[in-house]
Amino acid sequence: MSEQELDVVSSPVLRFGTELRRLRRQRGWSQNELAKRMGYSNTLISYLERGQRSPTKHFAVKADETFGTGQAFYDMWRRIDRASLLEGVEEYMDAEGRCRQLRTYQTSLIPGLFQTPEYAGALARAAVRRGSKTEAQAEEYVVFLAARQKRVLDRANPPRVHAVVDEGCINRLIGGPKVMARQLDHVIDLADRPNITLQVAPLSLGELNPFTFPIVLLTLPDRSVVGYGETHARGYLERGRLTCAAWERDYDQLVVESLATVASLDRIRAVRKGLE
């Protein structure tokens, strides 16, 4: 198998482009003609066929309509969309959508469930600049995050949420002062909900902080507990009873050592005031 063929097999973006080019040529259409039929520029068609741009959902649906391929292009787009998430995240989201209690500790960023679209967008755009996401993947991520927040926080019977955030999360300026100010306002508003508890782990906690990495603990309907953690490469769901029990013990200790809820909100408001 040639290097190009290996790339097509491993990359869903290249597979999409290769199939787009194959069907276009099969019908005897030029890139210009396909662009006119679909209502896009021939430059975009060229980029997509070479795998230099990721397709959008709208483009995939339009391609299926143009070629009469059912939802073949849409299914390929879905694989591209899922590929933009860390491996293991989908399994976690399934558990998150069913949980009765969610406990989380975050080390450097506001928890995803609490992020505003502007805050999440700033993070996504930074990933594009680094080359770790395409523009299309960044846009889809922000949409995906909003849907995830709605599914978990705004469902009929939302879970009990206890979030402990490292003090660095509220002090790290993401997206500039205005974006960060709105983010902190949003966190304060969420903390008013009866099912959400928020605490700040002060930097002075030092070595007494039992965690050096972000974690999530989910209590499922059958009262079993699973944990979740991430590396830069993948996410993983931890089902081991001993490991989850150890994480629960450490989390309980973190809660005791962190600022009380009132003091935590006062600390957040002080940071928010400094952004004005």
pLDDT digits (tens, 9 = 90+) for 179-197: 999 999 999 999 999 999 9
Question: In the chain, where are the structural domains located?
Answer: 3-83, 89-114+155-274
> What does the pLDDT average to over 19-43?
94
pLDDT tier for residue 78 given thresholds of 50, 70 and 90: confident
What number does CATH give the domain 3-83?
1.10.260.40
> What does the pLDDT average to over 156-185?
96
Whether the pLDDT of residue 89 is over 80: the answer is no
Long-range contacts, 15-22 (Cβ 8 Å, 24+): 15/76, 16/48, 16/51, 16/55, 16/60, 16/73, 16/76, 16/77, 16/80, 17/48, 17/49, 17/50, 17/51, 18/49, 18/51, 19/72, 19/73, 19/76, 20/45, 20/48, 20/49, 20/63, 20/73, 21/49
| pLDDT number for residue 6 | 34
Query: Greatest CA span in the chain, whole angstroms?
Result: 69
Whether the pLDDT of residue 229 is over 50: the answer is yes
Residue 273: other Cβ atoms inside 10 A: 10
Whether the pLDDT of residue 1 is over 90: the answer is no
Alpha carbons 276 and 50: distance in angstroms, whole number: 47
| pLDDT number for residue 231 | 63
> In the structure encoding, which two tokens stand for residue 91, read together?
């399994």
Whether the pLDDT of residue 199 is over 90: the answer is yes
Alpha carbons 91 and 128: distance in angstroms, whole number: 25
CATH class of residue range 89-114+155-274: alpha beta
- Asked which of 127-136, 158-167, 219-228 is least confident by mean pLDDT, the reply is 127-136
> What is the overall mean pLDDT for the chain?
88
DSSP for 101-162, written as a single string: EEEEEESSS--GGG--HHHHHHHHHHHHHHTSS-HHHHHHHHHHHHHHHHHHHSSSSPPEEE
Per-residue pLDDT tens over the stretch 44-60: 999 899 887 778 889 99
Whether the pLDDT of residue 32 is over 90: the answer is yes
Q: Which residue has the tokens 């600049």?
A: 129
Whether the pLDDT of residue 84 is over 60: the answer is no
